C-alpha cells in the first residue's frame, strides 16, 4: 500500500521516495562506509516535510547528508532515515542576495553567483560538498568563512516546521556554526549577501586560481575527507603531525598522506571506515605523547559508531 501524505493539496507517495539499504560508500569522498537502512532524496519543501513526519510517526532517527565530504560513515551503516540533500538544488537572485537550496554543490553555487555578477564566495572555490554541509561546519579557506557572507538560513525542524535564522557573523566561529552538534535542524535554503562586481573576470580568476592551488597540492588525487583535525589555536594540525614524523603511517588501506599531513587517504581503495577511525586515534595519541596537544577531529562521525 503506498503511504500517502497530503500536503498543500498534494499527495506525496512516500514509498516512491524511500530507498531501503542504500550503499553509501559510493557517495563518500573517501569511499568507505556501510548502508543506510532507509534513505531519501527530497526535491522540495513538501517532500522534506513528509519524510520528517514519516520518521517522527515511526520513531526513526533522522540523519542528514549533503556531499559526504566531511563525514566518516560507520561500516555498520546508519539506522533510521538518512536524508540526502543532493536534489535540493534550486537557486535564485534577489538584488544583491543570492538564495540557494542546501543540496547544491558549493563550487557550483559559486559559479552561479559569478555568472550573475556577484562576488564574495570565490575564495571558497574547490571545497567539495554542499552548501548545507558548508554552513553546518562553517567551511572556510583563504581567509574566508562561509558564515561571514550569510544573511539568513531557512531550516526545518523534525516536526516539519520551517524557521528563518537571521545570521550575525559572530554566530559563527572557526569550523563552528549555530547548527554544529545539533541534529534536529535541516538547513533548507541560505541567503548570501554578495557584492555586485564590476570585475567579474577578476573574481572568476581568483576562483580558478584557488582551485588550481588545491589541485597542485594534490587535494583531489586520492579519496579523502580533507583535513581530519581542526587547527588548534595558534598552530596547524598538519604541521604538528608532520613534526611527529607520522607521514605515511597506515592502518589497513587508510594512510596518512605524505603530501598533506592532515589528510587520511584511502590509499588502495580498500580502506574501511574502521581503518580510518583507528588511524585517526593513533595519530591523536602520538601527537598527545610527543606534543602534549589533543587534536580535535574536524570530521563528523555518522551512523552506528
Ligand atoms: C579534498 C578536500 C578538501 C577540503 N577542503 C576544505 C577546506 O578548505 N575548508 C573546509 O572547511 N573544509 C574542507 N573540506 C571538508 C568538506 O569539504 C567541507 O567541510 C564541506 O563543507 C562539507 O560539506 P558536505 O556537504 O560534504 O557535508 P557532509 O559531509 O555531507 O555533512 C557534514 C555535516 O554537515 C551536516 N549537514 C550536511 N548538510 C546539512 C543540511 N542541509 N542541514 C543540516 N546539516 C547538514 C551533516 O549531518 C554532517 O554532520 C575538504 C574536504 C575534502 C575531501
**Cα separation, 100 vs 192, whole angstroms:** 8
pLDDT at 11: 81
Domain boundary among 39, 59, 87: 87
For residues 58 and 115, state if they share a domain.
no
Residues 106 and 144 in one domain: yes
Residue 163 and residue 54 share a domain: no
pLDDT at 197: 78
* pLDDT 10s digits, 157-175: 999 999 999 998 789 999 9
Mutation test residue for ligand 1: of 128, 156, 213, 259, the one with most atoms within 8 Å of CB? 128
Distance, CA of 207 to CA of 127 (rounded, Å): 11
In contact, 70 and 52? CB cutoff 8 Å: no
227 assigned to active site = yes
Q: Of 182, 216, 250, which closes a domain?
A: 216
Q: Which of 42, 139, 147 to mutate for ligand 1's pocket (most ligand atoms within 8 Å of CB)?
A: 139
Please, what is the end-to-end C-alpha distance for the chain in angstroms? 34
Same domain, 102 and 191: yes
C-beta 130 within 6 A of ligand 1: yes
Q: How far is the CA of 196 from the centre of ligand 1 (A)?
A: 27
Q: Catalytic residue among 49, 101, 175, 204, which?
A: 175
Q: Return phi, psi of residue 204, to 5°.
A: -60, -40
- H/E stretch holding 2 reads none
The verdict on 182 and 255 lying in the same domain is: no
For residue 179, the domain's CATH number is 3.30.465.10
> Rounded to whole angstroms, how far apart are CA atoms 223 and 219?
9
Answer yes or no: do 204 and 238 share one domain: no
Same domain, 158 and 181: yes
Note whether 186 and 256 are same-domain residues: no
> What proportions of the chain, in percent to the nearest 5, are helix, strand and coil?
30, 30, 40
**Do 207 and 292 share a domain, yes or no?**
no
* d(CA 2, ligand 1 centre) in Å: 34
Question: What CATH number has the domain bearing residue 47?
Answer: 3.30.43.10
In short, whether 165's Cβ falls inside 6 Å of ligand 1 is no
Ligand 1 in contact with 197 (CB < 6 A)? no
- Range(s) of the domain holding residue 255: 224-302
Residue 180 appears among annotated catalytic residues: no
Distance 225 CA to ligand 1 centre (A): 9
Helices (H), the chain: 14-17, 45-57, 106-115, 131-136, 200-216, 237-243, 273-291
Exactly one of 227, 257, 272, 273 is catalytic; which is it?
A: 227
Q: What is the pLDDT of residue 5?
A: 46
Pocket test for ligand 1, best of 129, 190, 301 (most atoms within 8 A of CB): 129
266 lines ligand 1 (CB under 6 A): no
Total domains, the chain: 3
Q: Is residue 95 located within the same domain as residue 212? A: yes
What local confidence, expressed as pLDDT, does residue 181 receive? 87
Last residue of a domain, which of 216, 248, 264?
A: 216
Q: Could you say which residues of the chain have pLDDT below 70?
A: 1-10
Q: Which atom of ligand 1 is nearest to the CA of 128?
A: 17
- For residues 157 and 237, membership in a common domain is answered with no
User: Active-site residue 175, yes or no?
Assistant: yes
pLDDT of residue 9: 56
Residue located nearest, by CA, to atom 45 of ligand 1: 133
- DSSP tally for the chain: helices H, then strands E: 7, 21
pLDDT for res 1? 38
Sign of CA dihedral 188, 194, 196, 197: negative
Amino acid at each position: 500500500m503506498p503511504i500517502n501524505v497530503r500536503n498543500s493539496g498534494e499527495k506525496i507517495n512516500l514509498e516512491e521516495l524511500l530507498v531501503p539499504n542504500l550503499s553509501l560508500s559510493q557517495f563518500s569522498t573517501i569511499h568507505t562506509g556501510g548502508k543506510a537502512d532507509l534513505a531519501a532524496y527530497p526535491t522540495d519543501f513538501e517532500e522534506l516535510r513528509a519524510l520528517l513526519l514519516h520518521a517522527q510517526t515511526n520513531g526513526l532517527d533522522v540523519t542528514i547528508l549533503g556531499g559526504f565530504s566531511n563525514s566518516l560513515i560507520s561500516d555498520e551503516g546508519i539506522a533510521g532515515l538518512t536524508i540526502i540533500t543532493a536534489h535540493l538544488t534550486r537557486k535564485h537572485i534577489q538584488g544583491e542576495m543570492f538564495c540557494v537550496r542546501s543540496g547544491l554543490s558549493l563550487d557550483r553555487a559559486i559559479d552561479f553567483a559569478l555568472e550573475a555578477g556577484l562576488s564574495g564566495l570565490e575564495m571558497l572555490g574547490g571545497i567539495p560538498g554542499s552548501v548545507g554541509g558548508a554552513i553546518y561546519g562553517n567551511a572556510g579557506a583563504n581567509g574566508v568563512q562561509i558564515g561571514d557572507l550569510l544573511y539568513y538560513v531557512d531550516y526545518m525542524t523534525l516536526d516539519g516546521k520551517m524557521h528563518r535564522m537571521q545570521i550575525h557573523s559572530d554566530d559563527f566561529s572557526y569550523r563552528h556554526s549555530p547548527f554544529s552538534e545539533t541534529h534536529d535542524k535541516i538547513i533548507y535554503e541560505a541567503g548570501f549577501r554578495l557584492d555586485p562586481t564590476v570585475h567579474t573576470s577578476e573574481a572568476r580568476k581568483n576562483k580558478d586560481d584557488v582551485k588550481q592551488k588545491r589541485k597542485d597540492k594534490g587535494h583531489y588525487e586520492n579519496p579523502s575527507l580533507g583535513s581530519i583535525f581542526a587547527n588548534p589555536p595558534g598552530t596547524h594540525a598538519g604541521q604538528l603531525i608532520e613534526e611527529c614524523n607520522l607521514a605515511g603511517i597506515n592502518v589497513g588501506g587508510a594512510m596518512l598522506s605524505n603530501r598533506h599531513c592532515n589528510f587520511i587517504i584511502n590509499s588502495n581503495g580498500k580502506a574501511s571506515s574502521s581503518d580510518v577511525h583507528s588511524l585517526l586515534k593513533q595519530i591523536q595519541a602520538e601527537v598527545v605523547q610527543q606534543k602534549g596537544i589533543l587534536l580535535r577531529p574536524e570530521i563528523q562521525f555518522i551512523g552506528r559508531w
